[in-house]
Structure 1
Amino acid sequence: MAPKRKPATSSGAPPKKQRSVPTLEEKLDVLDLLKGGMSVASVARKYGRNESSIRAIKIRETEIREAVASSAPRTAKVTNQVRDKALVKTEKALNLWLEDMNRKRVPINGTMLQENALSIYAMFKPPTEEGQPSDKKEFRASQGWLNSFRNRFNLKNVQTTGEVASANEEAAKAYPEQLKEIIQERGYLPEQVFNADETGLFWKKMPTRTYISKSERQAPGFKTAKDCVTVLLCGNAAGHLIKPGLLYRSANPCALKGKNKNLLPVFWQSNKKAWVTAATFLDWFHKCFILEVKQYLEEKGLDFKVLLLVDNAPGHPDALWFVTYTRLTFSRILTAMDADPNVNVMECWKSFNIADCITYIKQAMDAIKPETVNACWRNLWKDCVNDFKGFPAIDKEVECIVQVARQVGGDSFGDILEEEIEELIEGRRETLTNEELEELIKSSTEDEDDDDEQEEPATWTLHKFSEVFQTAKHLNDLISDYDPSME
């Protein structure tokens, strides 16, 4: 019997097998498993790859880890290093800018990438001495470079044409009806339909005209007011908000020393850029969302049957939440100054840390009423909205912030205007400038801490209890001594 032939393509040649290239994140996982003592054969079986591929990763361990340490995205598939240092910085900054645009839902195409690459490169390019010819080939952001950049950073969703906006509009118009069909077909209740989306928060930013902001602009090094956290908000169509996720650039900030991160009012995560990635989202989904929603539905006596919408579905009032957060930060300064007249605005602002930020995020979440969250679904799922009477006026919150600021007084707060507060609130939607991208690139390498050290979860001890009770007794004795009334 004649041997069987492999099926041929239209050209007569046998079909080529698709080559699966592991990402840097997968390679890191492989290296960690090998370092932990797992054999090459076991790792190969776990990932469904040849042993030779695993050995090749092991041989390139130093190169792979250096690529990740240099802020290359973990979704990248290659570790080639560009010889032009200015171009290396340009591509890192361009990737930061692209991720920032994705967070703000701004569609990007290849032409926009090329234009911005030239602009950023001009900032990083070293100056050429007058009269001396440059020995380097001029960077032109060509189509070939663009293809290589997309491949290096594994960018699959960058459009090559400018038609993405119109396509998104058409899809958005059709989506509510499609969602309605899914809900009716599966029998979902408003309590079982959730929406999750992230929002950036410059948690120490102040109005640009204040003395604080002026001092920040003049001070060298990393600008604290540009320190950003990403808050992942999630709520259902009935108006219930679950514990928010929070991403920060430091894993173990000093302000949380001695705190058990599992007991924070937020789901704590960290990476160097404080931006949501596929890995951090899945971690939040499995360790926070599922547990929170399961407990919520059990309390409601409902089945654990859930529909989770992500990205563009407008399921939470982030503008109102941010305004409330701003009001709480201004009130904190006023309260601190009332408690100690010797404290000034700058001292209050400097003492404001990431632990305080977490506290005010929680308070701002609690201030949002369920009916407000429910009303946010009016365009997507009108039938689930109960007696929509409009959103609470954000203008009133802005007026309240202005009143608190004027009570603080001094340091440009005494004559602050509503327009400045509105500018501060809208500023969270601004795109990163070239200067801010340069600052982020520098801070990612200069701002090192003990993030690699794993902290033991903090717990109560007999010594801690004893110290608290002794302090409480001392306070009670002081009150008895100072109070003129024996009663």
Structure 2
Amino acid sequence: MASNFPPTSSGAPPKKQRSVPTLEEKLDVLDLLKGGTSVDSVARKYGRNESSIHAIKIREREIREAVASSAPRTAKVTSQVHDKALVKTEKALNLWLEDMNRKRVPINGTMLQEKALSIYAMFKPPTEEGQPSDKKEFKASQGWLNSFRNRFNLKSVQTTGEVASANEEAAKAYPEQLKEIIEERGYLPEQVFNADETVLFWKKMPTRTYILKSEQQAPGFKAAKDRVTVSLCGSAAGHLIKPGLPYRSANPHALKGKNKNLLPVFWQSNKKAWVTAATFLDWFHKCFILEVKQYLEEKGLDFKVLLLVDNAPGVISCFKATYTRLTFSRILTAMDADPNVNVMECWKSFNIADCITYIKQAMDAIKPETVNACWRNLWKDCVNDFKGFPAIDKEVECIVQVARQVGGDGFVDILEEEIEELIEGHRETLTNEESSRENSDSCQSPCFSRKNNQQQLLELNQSQPLHL
């Protein structure tokens, strides 16, 4: 009988690639078996041997524990880790890694090992003085790193530094490649958009103010760590789209009874207040496309759009500086209106509805020329007489003046450097403690992910269907 496989140089058929089922598939198999489906029926359904299905059944407890312990369902290895401190460490480490990916910070194997040791030291139970430890010391070895990558299916974690130089080379070549695309397809500045996301700790204050000091001293009172993610998007001509705003609650008390469709932001909910693939696509289809169509119709232009994802630092800095100034002005205005109101009361009453109001005002304060200037590194030919971002410096000066009028510990002698640090502080990453407190069960892959330090491109026009 003729072989179904093409002959190799040795005359033997090539080996069939072994397909390892994911945790999600294993869980489905277990659920079917638990529901009464026979082993042979499950084997036929998934195209596997009955012995493989029996093996999954035997390891049911281990598999279900792996899923319950927040291992991603795309993971293919369910190795058990018996050190409870290490289990907690790996959960926190995976969350920290997702945070780094969301912020587009490149991570290699060495960095992962160092971070793992740092987190483990926090979870490791103390050894009583004079008593030897009965556990082998965790060293974050290369073997552990390989196992961790397999358990959490971390295909993208680099173990060498070679990718960094390649990314830099790709980034240098990107503007010229973008220019070729724009010129070849005839895009106008009004038709080219750039979207980026930024974290906003919407109640944060400088570290020396007694507001933050009081917050740190009050157990469970951590409102200044409450964050939203603001998705900003503007055209090369300077037009801004309604920002997306994922928040941890779908219907917070401050917005109950309000029509979310009438808000000046595109309201979304996500337990981590992050932009995920789902929230991005929701904003893209229900907000971006509709607003851009209307904008281009008003301009008398065809609906032909190029959307770049990433890289709008100028707009983000201007937005955060203006937002910060508005929050300081709110405190001063409230105290002027009622002499019996103190700074802490003003700060505690600040809610997500106020935050949205100030996001809108901060967006309105960004001038088209500022948005246009942000394209100087990507498409310098469209930038009109770039003169820097003086608005940021003016906002910082204004914030200092307002803070000194507010008065009190940490306000009366506040410095411009502290305000600049506060504005930059919105970009801070999760600490070990914050990583350990987050519930990694609800983690989703971030949408804004760079490849070779380049922006993702989405092209739309009237004659072609949209595929993402």
Q: Distance in 2 between matches of 1:51 and 1:293?
A: 54
Change (3 A) 1:179 1:336: same
- Cα pair 2:197 2:229 within 8 Å, conserved: yes
Query: Percent identity among equivalent residues?
Result: 91
Change (3 A) 1:12 1:182: farther
What's the offset of the Cα at 1:83? 2.9
Q: Distance in 2 between matches of 1:475 and 1:278?
A: 15
What's the offset of the Cα at 1:271? 2.8
Indicate the SS of the match to 1:393. helix
Change (3 A) 1:45 1:292: farther
- Cα pair 1:331 1:404 within 8 Å, conserved: yes
* Greater RCO (CA < 8 Å, at least 6 residues apart): 2
What's the offset of the Cα at 1:428? 2.2
Query: What is residue 352 of structure 2 aligned with on the other side?
Result: 354
Please list, as runs of the form range in 1=range in 2, the aligned pairs for 1:143-292 lying within 5 A after superposition: 143-221=142-220, 223-292=222-291
What's the offset of the Cα at 1:138? 2.3
Change (3 A) 1:183 1:333: same
Name the stretch that deviates more: 257-266 or 188-197.
Answer: 257-266
Q: Distance in 1 between matches of 2:148 and 2:459?
A: 69
Change (3 A) 1:52 1:355: farther
Q: Distance in 2 between matches of 1:427 and 1:175?
A: 29
Change (3 A) 1:343 1:129: same
Change (3 A) 1:23 1:423: farther
Change (3 A) 1:242 1:415: same
Change (3 A) 1:401 1:58: farther
- Cα pair 2:309 2:456 within 8 Å, conserved: no
Change (3 A) 1:310 1:45: farther
Change (3 A) 1:55 1:476: closer
Q: Distance in 1 between matches of 2:185 and 2:463?
A: 67
**Runs of 4+ displaced beyond 6 Å:** 19-69, 442-449, 473-478, 480-487
Change (3 A) 1:74 1:292: farther
- Cα pair 2:192 2:236 within 8 Å, conserved: yes
Q: Deviation per CA, 1:305-326: give whole Å up to 9, x if none.
A: 22111234768xxxxxxxx010
- Cα pair 1:195 1:236 within 8 Å, conserved: yes
Q: Distance in 2 between matches of 1:5 and 1:477?
A: 43
- Cα pair 2:304 2:459 within 8 Å, conserved: no
Change (3 A) 1:483 1:243: closer
Name the Cα RMSD after superposition: 11.0
Name the stretch that deviates more: 13-22 or 270-279.
Answer: 13-22
Indicate the SS of the match to 1:28. helix
What's the offset of the Cα at 1:395? 1.8
What's the offset of the Cα at 1:97? 2.2
TM-score for both structures, normalised by structure 2: 0.78
Q: Distance in 2 between matches of 1:377 and 1:195?
A: 9
Change (3 A) 1:401 1:117: same
Change (3 A) 1:448 1:329: farther
Query: What is residue 320 of structure 1 aligned with on the other side?
Result: none
Indicate the SS of the match to 2:130. coil
Q: Deviation per CA, 1:258-291: give whole Å up to 9, x if none.
A: 2233332222233333223333333332333223
What's the offset of the Cα at 1:112? 0.8
Q: Deviation per CA, 1:4-59: give whole Å up to 9, x if none.
A: 43124556554556667787789999999999999999999999999999999999
Q: Distance in 1 between matches of 2:405 and 2:50?
A: 69
Indicate the SS of the match to 2:139. coil
- Cα pair 1:44 1:51 within 8 Å, conserved: yes
Q: Deviation per CA, 1:87-115: give whole Å up to 9, x if none.
A: 12212221232233233332211011011
Change (3 A) 1:65 1:208: farther
Q: Distance in 1 between matches of 2:128 and 2:331?
A: 50
Change (3 A) 1:371 1:19: farther
Q: Distance in 1 between matches of 2:18 and 2:264?
A: 44
Name the stretch that deviates more: 64-73 or 167-176.
Answer: 64-73
Q: Deviation per CA, 1:196-238: give whole Å up to 9, x if none.
A: 1111111111011111111122222362212222111111111
Change (3 A) 1:25 1:259: farther
Q: Deviation per CA, 1:50-96: give whole Å up to 9, x if none.
A: 99999999999999898677555566556665332211221222123
Change (3 A) 1:64 1:5: closer
* 2:18 is aligned with 1:26: no
Change (3 A) 1:350 1:344: same
